[in-house]
């Protein structure tokens, strides 16, 4: 997960820095540092990513178009056709 993916995931969920920090159990300054592009400990990135994934975010690896995020299909929700 990189800075852009973090910002995109927050927007997709409608979360501010405070909501993400609370969900990941990290300080708001940690989220700000990540989104500025600072390097964080792998354990901290893992906690933030886990919070996003628990909220329904899927991380998309770089596949020619750059890395991204998307909302996963809600359990029992309609499938895209």
The model's pLDDT over 42-72, given as tens digits with 9 standing for 90+, comes to: 999 999 999 999 999 999 887 767 788 988 8
Does 80 fall in a domain? no
Does 45 fall in a domain? yes
- Domain with residue 29: its CATH number is 1.10.260.40
Does 11 fall in a domain? yes
pTM exceeds 0.85:
no
Rounded to 10 deg, the angle between the 42-54 and 28-36 helix axes is 100
Residue-wise pLDDT tens digits, 3-45: 999 999 999 999 999 999 999 999 999 999 999 999 999 999 9
Sequence-ordered list of residues with C-beta below 8 angstroms from that of 81, at least 6 positions apart, any chain: none
Does 25 fall in a domain? yes
Contact 8, 68 (CB under 8 A): yes
How sure is the predictor about 74, in pLDDT bands with cuts at 50, 70 and 90? low
Domain holding 40, by residue range, is 3-71
Q: What is the pLDDT of residue 73?
A: 64
Q: Give the total number of structural domains in the chain.
A: 1
Does 76 fall in a domain? no
Does 27 fall in a domain? yes
């Amino acid at each position: 997960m990189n800075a852009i993916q973090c910002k995109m995931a927050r927007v997709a969920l409608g979360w501010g820095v405070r909501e993400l920090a609370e969900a990941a159990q990290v300080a708001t300054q940690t989220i700000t540092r990540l989104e500025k592009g600072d390097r964080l400990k792998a354990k901290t990135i893992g906690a933030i990513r886990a919070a996003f994934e628990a909220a329904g975010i899927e991380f998309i690896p770089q596949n020619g178009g750059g890395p991204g995020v998307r909302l996963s299909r809600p359990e029992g929700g309609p499938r895209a056709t």
